[in-house]
Structures are given as C-alpha cells and as structure tokens.
C-alpha cells in the first residue's frame, strides 16, 4: 500500500521518527515526500515491476471466473452432456432432453452460491488473510472440478455448481482487494484493469473449449481443462506474499515489513520503515471508536461518509448491467450471421478479441485519461449503440454490416469504460479498513442485478413472450442514459490519489465534480500550493 502523509524529521534516527509520529499524530504539516508519488505511469510500471508482477499473478485467478461463468450456459446444449444428465423424453421428437427444473437448479446453485461467496469471502479475508482466501477458493475449485468430472447424477452436478459459485464469489470479492492493497498508487487502475482482462481471457478459453468439444462426445474435456487454469494460479498461491495492510492490521510488524521488502524493496525511493510507520498510524486512526466485529463492519459501510464510499464503489460495477450486455453479447451470433458470418464461434471469437484488445489499451489510459471521462464517454457511446440497434429493428431488411459495426463499437466502448473501470472504483473509494466488505457488497449487488436481467431479458426476447427482438435496444438505451446521469452526479474522479488523500476528500465531503481538481494537504506539502483548487 502506497501510504502517504508525512514525516518531517529527516535527520533523526528511527526511534526519533516513532516519537515524532506519536507526538504529532501525523498532522499534515509533518512532511514525507517519497519520490515515487510524482512518477509517471510508465516509470511506475518500470520501478515497481515486482509488486505489479505479483498483482498480475493474482489477477490470473480471474480467468477461472470468466471460464466458470461462460461454460454452464453453453454446455447444456452439448449432445453428450444431454445424454448423461437428460431425464425426459420429448413427446414430439422422442429425443432425450434435460429437465428444465434441473437446469434452473444448476443456475440457482451457481448464482446463489456466488452471491453467498461475495458476502462471506470478505469476512474470511479480514479474519484469516487475503492469501487464506486464495487457498480456500482454490480448494473449492478443485473439489468442484472433480465433482463435475465424476458426476453422473444431476444432483452431484448441482453440488459442483454450488462449490464453483462460492469460489467465483471469493474470486471477485477477494482478488481485487489483494490487488488494491499491493498495486502502486500511480498504476492502481491499470493493474486492476488486468483483472478484467484475465476475466475476458477466461471467457475466450471457454469459447475455444466449447468449440473443441462440439466435434466429439466427450463433454468432460471442458472440465479437465479447469485444472490448467488452476495451474496458472499456483505461482500466486506459492510466491505472492500476504498484503502489508492485512499483516499490519493484525499487529504483525515483522510480516508486514517482510511483505513490503518483497513487494517494494527493489524501489530506491521506498523506505520500508517509514512506510510502515505511516501505514500503522493510518490503521490506528481508522480503528478509533470502530468495531472489529465483522457484521457490525457491514453496517459501518452504510454509516457517515462510508455510505457515500459504498455507493460510489457499487455504481460503476452495477452500470455494467445497464449498458446492454444482454443485447450485444446475446445477439452477437445473429448480427454476424446477417453480415455473412454464419459460424457462431467465429462471431464470438471476433467480439472477444476486440474486448481483449481494448482492455489492453485501457491499461495505459485508465491512469492517464482518468476513470470518470472513460466512464462517461463510453456510456454515451454505448447508449447511442443501443438506440441505433433499436431503430434498425424497425427496418424490413436488417443491415447486417451496420449491426456488426455497432457490436464492435459497443464492445470497444465497454472495454474502455465500465469493463475496466468498475473494479478500479471499488479499490479507490472503499475505506481501507472496510475494503474487503465493500468489495463483497458491490460485487454481490451487481450479481443481483445480473440475476434480474438473466430472468427478464429472455422473456423480452422470446417470440413466445414479449418478442421485442432488436427493439429491446429501447429498453437498454434509456437505462444506459439513466445510469449515465447517476454516474455524472455521484461518481468522482479518483485517478492518482493515494488512500490518505481519498480519506481526506471524503471526510471533507468534496463534491463529485471538484473531486479531481481539489488540492489535498498532501499535495500542498509536495507542491507548495496554498489553494485547495487547481488553477
């Protein structure tokens, strides 16, 4: 954690520094000006390569998240899978079919357990450590994969989906917290964008795997491949250290400093002893009159300034569900068929490659352009895509090329905005002491919105029900605009801010539009500014 406040006793020994801290209580006039706070993104990536490498290894866990979420909805159409788990004979065709209630039960087990994991993961993370959660989710994934492979009854497969759901919930609420606490401040957004990239990579792996099993009747191959994804996560399990923040909160100074040395010891301007003093003081200040009981900490997230922080953490993630996911991801194959690409796999592959390409681009712009401009700019473009698609739905002959263009434009905008920015806001705005709890609730709330859309959108699209077709764009277009307005008034710019700076901004209740330009006490001590606003 790149803590900043300051010390102004540069000529005293470490004992004197501690006495100075205790006496002055880390007031803003005590100056500590580490060089790294002024570095550019590229310099930060170069100097902090070791901590960024560990963050990247941890982010690879998201590949399984993307994989596990993509596979269940497609594998139920595989003949071999139906042959194994089918229990109903169609009265029309005489073919074996899956029981719709069993399919619903699998979906409920996966999604319900995922939400459960998002709520329980943070409590386990705060109690036992960020690394303990990584080991725990890996255990669940291994057991789930084994059950998926050996399952011959739909109930066993349901148990596998339940364990898989808990693991993916822990992934979303746990890995991002680790990255947020370890990533250098000037590259925090870029490193968190790597999580979204790994998630999309998992989706691509799932699409490739499903295409492979479509050519033969061994559906279990798709589950054997999960061990490959788990293998990518092994280096993080073995080599990544516990976060200094968690170790310091547990009072383990030795472990915290050892983690700092491993993560940042190669950076010449990083003083481990001074940084630990700053971190320790911040934790002590946060803990004053605060509860350590886990369920009371959940309540704390909705009290005082923490309420605003929780709302801001949640909004960008929830906005992902309002911008047309169900329209442009569900209709990809149809759009490409109209344009002369009748093969579903190629259509999915093209869209996923566009997603990955622009997620890579987001690594370099999220901490340079800023979160808020990307969120608002991307939202405006995606709203236009939704309305344009709805308008095309009224044409007698649908222009396939135009629909493909809109799909590609929407995907690129999604990757550069809500697709990459959402988790950055969870890391930036959550109170450091409540970060794990806030991340879990933000992810769970988003998943609940996802459940709502998963249920309602098929009804809107189905010819047997509402039969809206492409006109569903008129449903997502206004939702996108509504979300854009909420984001504009409630979600501030947080790029380049250290956690003490963010604490100051929230405590002073700085308005959303002034958040990015406000000069904090830390900045004034570094820049010598007297004004609280940029000229």
Domain formed by 303-491, architecture: Up-down Bundle (1.20)
Instruction: Identify the DSSP state of 242.
Output: P
Confidence bin at 229 (pLDDT 50/70/90)? confident
C-beta neighbour count of 23 within 10 angstroms: 9
- Rounded Cα–Cα distance for residues 446 and 319 (Å): 8
Q: Please report which residue ranges of 288-417 form alpha helices under DSSP H.
A: 294-300, 305-319, 325-330, 332-338, 344-365, 371-392, 400-416
Query: Over 50: is that where the pLDDT of 17 sits?
Result: no
* CATH fold match for the domains 44-240 and 303-491: yes
Environment class of residue 380 by beta-carbon count within 10 Å: exposed (0-12), middle (13-18) or buried (19+)? Answer: middle
> In the prediction, which pLDDT does 225 show?
86
Which neighbouring-strand residues pair with 533? 518
Condensed to tens digits (0 to 9), the pLDDT of residues 69-78 reads: 778 767 887 8
Phi then psi for residue 342, to 5 deg, are -75, -10
Helices then strands, each counted (H, E), the chain: 26, 2
Q: Output the pTM of the full model.
A: 0.77
Environment class of residue 185 by beta-carbon count within 10 Å: exposed (0-12), middle (13-18) or buried (19+)? Answer: buried
Mean of pLDDT over the chain:
81
Please tell me the least confidently modeled range out of 174-188, 275-289, 484-498. Answer: 275-289
> In the prediction, which pLDDT does 5 show?
35
> In the chain, pLDDT over 90 holds for what percent of residues?
25
Domain formed by 44-240, architecture: Up-down Bundle (1.20)
CB 57 within 8 A of CB 236: yes
Using CA atoms, how far residue 306 sits from 120, 346, 438, 507, in Å, is 20, 46, 9, 9
- Rounded Cα–Cα distance for residues 31 and 196 (Å): 37
Among residues 264, 317, 237, 269, the alpha carbon closest in space to that of 491 is found at 317
Please tell me the least confidently modeled range out of 16-25, 68-77, 143-152, 446-455. Answer: 16-25
Q: Pick 125 or 524 by higher pLDDT.
A: 125
Would you kindly state where each structural domain of the chain is located, as residue ranges? 44-240, 303-491
CB 177 within 8 A of CB 436: yes
> In the prediction, which pLDDT does 413 show?
95
Strand 96-97, strand 88-89: pairing: antiparallel
Half-sphere exposure of 23 (CA within 13 A, CB side): 11
Angle at CA of residue 362, ends 5 and 259, nearest 5°:
40
């Amino acid at each position: 954690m790149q803590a900043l406040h300051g010390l102004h006793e540069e000529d005293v020994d470490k004992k004197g520094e501690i006495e100075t801290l205790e006496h002055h209580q880390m007031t803003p006039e005590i100056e500590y000006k580490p060089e790294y706070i002024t570095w550019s993104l590229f310099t930060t990536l170069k100097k902090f390569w070791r901590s960024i490498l560990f963050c990247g290894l941890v982010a690879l866990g998201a590949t399984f998240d993307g994989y596990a979420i993509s596979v269940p909805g497609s594998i139920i159409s595989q003949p071999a899978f139906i042959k194994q788990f089918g229990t109903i004979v169609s009265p029309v065709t005489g073919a074996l079919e899956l029981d719709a209630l069993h399919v619903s039960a699998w979906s409920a087990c996966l999604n319900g357990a995922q939400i459960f994991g998002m709520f329980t993961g943070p409590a386990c993370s705060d109690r036992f450590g960020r690394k303990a959660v990584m080991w725990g989710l890996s255990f669940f994934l291994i057991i789930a994969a084994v059950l998926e492979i050996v399952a011959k009854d739909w109930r066993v497969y349901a148990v596998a989906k339940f364990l898989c759901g808990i693991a993916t919930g822990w992934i979303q609420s746990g890995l991002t917290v680790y990255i947020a606490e370890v990533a250098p401040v000037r590259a925090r957004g870029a490193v968190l964008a790597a999580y979204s990239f790994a998630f999309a990579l998992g989706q691509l792996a799932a699409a490739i795997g499903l295409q492979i099993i479509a050519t033969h009747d061994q559906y279990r191959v798709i589950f054997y491949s999960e061990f490959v994804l788990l293998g990518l996560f092994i280096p993080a399990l073995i080599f990544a250290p516990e976060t200094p923040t968690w170790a310091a909160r547990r009072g383990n100074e030795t472990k915290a400093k050892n983690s700092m040395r491993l993560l940042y010891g190669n950076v010449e301007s990083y003083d481990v002893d001074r940084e630990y003093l700053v971190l320790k003081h911040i934790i002590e200040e946060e803990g004053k009159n605060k509860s350590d009981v886990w369920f009371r900490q959940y309540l704390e997230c909705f009290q005082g300034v923490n309420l605003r922080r929780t709302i801001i953490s949640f909004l960008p993630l929830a906005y992902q569900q309002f911008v047309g996911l169900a329209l442009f991801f569900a209709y990809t194959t149809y759009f490409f068929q109209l344009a002369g690409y009748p093969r579903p796999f190629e259509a999915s592959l093209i869209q996923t490659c566009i997603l990955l390409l622009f997620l890579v681009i987001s690594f370099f712009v999220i901490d340079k352009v800023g979160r808020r401009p990307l969120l608002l700019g991307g939202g405006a473009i995606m709203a236009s895509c939704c309305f344009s698609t709805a308008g095309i739905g009224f044409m007698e002959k649908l222009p396939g090329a135009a629909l493909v263009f809109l799909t590609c434009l929407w995907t690129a905008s999604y990757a550069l905005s809500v697709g990459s920015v959402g988790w950055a806001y969870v890391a930036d705005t959550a109170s450091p002491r409540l970060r794990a709890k806030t991340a879990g609730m933000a992810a769970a709330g988003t998943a609940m919105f996802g459940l709502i859309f998963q249920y309602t959108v098929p009804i809107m699209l189905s010819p047997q029900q509402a039969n809206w077709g492409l006109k569903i764009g008129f449903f997502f277009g206004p939702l996108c605009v509504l979300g854009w307005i909420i984001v504009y008034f409630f979600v501030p710019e947080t790029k380049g801010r250290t956690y003490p700076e963010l604490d100051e901004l929230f405590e002073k209740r700085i308005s959303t539009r002034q958040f990015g330009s406000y000069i904090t006490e830390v900045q004034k001590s570094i820049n010598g500014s007297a004004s609280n606003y940029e000229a």
